[in-house]
Amino acid sequence: MSELPPCPQCQSPYVYEDGGLRICPECAHEWAIAEAEGASDTLSVRDANGAELRDGDTITVIKDLKVKGSSSVVKVGTKVKNIRLVDGDHDIDCKIPGIGQMGLKSEFVKKVAD
């Protein structure tokens, strides 16, 4: 049996896991397992200019992009709000106005200043 670290709040050794959480039965403190492990799996995605992107950012497309399986094109300057970073071939999941849900590569976008 693997030994879990003590509760970060009260240092109780009786911590247990439930789904994606660790729970302390003595003080009722709950925390995410990824949070406890330092969240080493967080994505680091940068736009074409080298600015770091985060979930919820607003970006602008810097090149006309053809939409696979369609005659549609995402035009230069298209503003996309509330992006979500993902792992894989395309770094960004987003909803593009007039086109719908789409995956984009970070090399074709730039972050819009807040």
| Tens-place pLDDT, residues 6-65 | 888 898 899 998 877 888 999 988 888 765 555 445 668 899 999 999 888 999 999 999
| Tens-place pLDDT, residues 68-107 | 888 889 999 999 999 998 888 888 999 998 888 999 999 9
Which residue, chain included where needed, has tokens 């590569």? Answer: 105
Give the single-character DSSP code of 64.
-
Give a yes or no: residue 49 inside a domain.
Answer: no
Dihedrals phi, psi of 76, to nearest 5 degrees: -55, 140
Distance CA 109, CA 52 (A): 12
Give the single-character DSSP code of 106.
G
For residue 87, give its domain range.
58-111
Note whether 32 and 63 are same-domain residues: no
Give a yes or no: residue 30 inside a domain.
Answer: yes
Distance CA 94, CA 84 (A): 6
pTM of whole model > 0.85?
no
Give a yes or no: residue 64 inside a domain.
Answer: yes
Distance CA 65, CA 61 (A): 8
Q: How many domains does the chain have?
A: 2
Do residues 85 and 92 touch, judged by C-beta distance below 8 A? yes
